[in-house]
Amino acid sequence: MERIEKSVEVQTPVSIAYNQWTQFEEFPKFMQGIEEVRQLDEKRLFWRASIWGQTPEWEAEILEQIPDRRIAWRSVTGHPNAGAVSFEALGPDRTRVTLALDYEPLGAVEKLGDMLGLLSARVEGDLERFREFIETRGAETGAWRGEIR
């Protein structure tokens, strides 16, 4: 498995950044290549992406969700991946969002893209688009404050 870890600082309270991240179905608005995320229940998500001419689909399970601190997941079908996003308050209106992603490049095209650093650049861009999305809105589009352990 390969690993990517990127961070971004957002000008918003930690609760707003976290609340927005819990709105998984909004991910296509700021994640490049993600066509659909559907929340199946509290712990399961369906994903469909467009990656280098392919349209992989997978189901992911949320393993841990601690309000204002962390969300961790792993795929249970399809595209192998796992990761966590963490939230760190840097002040009353500033938050560091850190995304760690473990993934397995499949096939020659994905392996080449990985060697060129394309997925790493995409993750960095996604975090920047998340920052722009939440800072422009000034508020979250919804929230789920439940806990999964």
Spell out the domain ranges in the chain: 2-22+62-137
What's the pLDDT at 116?
A: 73
CATH for the 2-22+62-137 domain, from 1.20.1440.230, 3.30.530.20, 3.40.50.2000, 3.20.20.240: 3.30.530.20
Buried b / exposed e over 70-101, threshold 16 CB at 10 Å, is ebbbebeebbebbbbbbbbbeeeeebebebbb
What's the pLDDT at 109?
A: 65
**Residue 118 in this model has a pLDDT that exceeds 90:** no
Tens-place pLDDT, residues 26-74: 999 999 999 999 999 999 999 999 877 789 999 999 999 999 999 999 9
Tens-place pLDDT, residues 72-105: 999 999 989 999 999 999 999 999 999 999 987 7
Mean pLDDT over 8-34 rounds to: 97
Confidence at 111, pLDDT banded by 50, 70, 90: low
What's the pLDDT at 67?
A: 98
Buried b / exposed e over 24-38, threshold 16 CB at 10 Å, is bebbeebbeebeebe
Q: Are 81 and 104 in contact (CB under 8 A)?
A: yes
What's the pLDDT at 133?
A: 97
* Integer Cα distance of 39 and 126 in angstroms: 20
* Integer Cα distance of 23 and 137 in angstroms: 14
* Integer Cα distance of 21 and 87 in angstroms: 10
Mean pLDDT over 131-143 rounds to: 95
Using a 10 angstrom Cβ sphere, with 0-12 exposed, 13-18 middle and 19 or more buried, the burial of residue 14 is buried
Q: Which residue has the higher pLDDT, 126 or 1?
A: 126
